[in-house]
Amino acid sequence: MKIGNVELNTKIVLAPMAGVTDVAFRTVCRELSGCYTVTEMVSAKALCYGDKKTASLLTLGEGEHPCGVQIFGSDEAAMEKGAALALEQSGADIIDINMGCPVPKIAGSGDGSALMKDPEKAARVAAAVVRGAAGKPVTVKFRLGWDKGSINCVEFARRMEDVGVAAVAVHGRTRTQMYSGTANWDYIREVKQAVSIPVVANGDVFSAKDAVRALSYTGADMVMIGRGCFGNPWLLEQCAAAVEGREVPETPPLAQRCDVAVRQFELAMAHKGERIACLEMRRHYAWYLKGVPYAGYWKEQICSMSTAEDFYKVTAGIRRDLC
């Protein structure tokens, strides 16, 4: 399928998630599954101000194409300029607009999912990004609506298409739901029926069967996987196999999972340095051990890792005691 003029050879998308989908984790997921990846969200205003920390979030992995870069904001001028800067600095193929983030820090400033309360302004913001993208495809990720009394995703999607957006991703929850309750795929199906651009279904995909069911039920073109892949990048590989009609591989034994954790840590260390990589891998490594019997002691050790030596000692202990 194509998003604009960019051809994708997969129906699996790794959801952009702040603090999770950095270049190291995206690389691991892509190596396992060949999924389409999108960077963590970056502030368009911060890009315009030349913030170095923000710019570092735009780093792509080696050969990470096609890939999207996600920006957020609600100021039209900043979004237009930020889109151009994000594409220039990252070399990404597609630019995505975050109109779905529910966290108060973002939505409370009028960004993210708050734009769903003002579809006209959202359309102007999207049009500005289309201008800034200068021919590269623009996609938008949003929710069903602000709350259950104002579900407007179908009309919202139509507005996005009208201003030149090349594809939309819909999370089947409202902003007030955050991540609670159940994702409503009925509305995603309605969005798919209402627009002619590709639609990505997002929400409650925690197994290969979920991915197949989401695509079948909604008629969407792609399926996006978020929280289900925390510590489990093999979920993307399993979903890819399932939707392509191949045999679904088993999740590998813990020893192999440790190998991938090490790969992710070393990639993070190469991009961010030893200290930051250790701090950020604390929760990732704990996720890798989710559901592993008798892992409590090693999860405690993970929480105090501060050097590469600590990381490798913990890994050796896990291999010795739990594998």
In angstroms, the CA 28 to CA 233 distance is 7
Strand partners, 200: 169, 222
**Angle at the Cα of 244 from the Cα atoms of 98 and 235, rounded to 5 degrees:** 55
**Catalytic residue list contains 258:** no
- Give me the catalytic one of 29, 35, 67, 101: 101
What's phi and psi for 223, nearest 5 deg? -125, 135
In angstroms, the CA 41 to CA 16 distance is 7
Q: Are 68 and 6 in contact (CB under 8 A)?
A: no
CB-based contacts of 216, cutoff 8 Å, min separation 6: none
CB-based contacts of 63, cutoff 8 Å, min separation 6: none
Q: Are 230 and 250 in contact (CB under 8 A)?
A: no
Catalytic site positions: 101
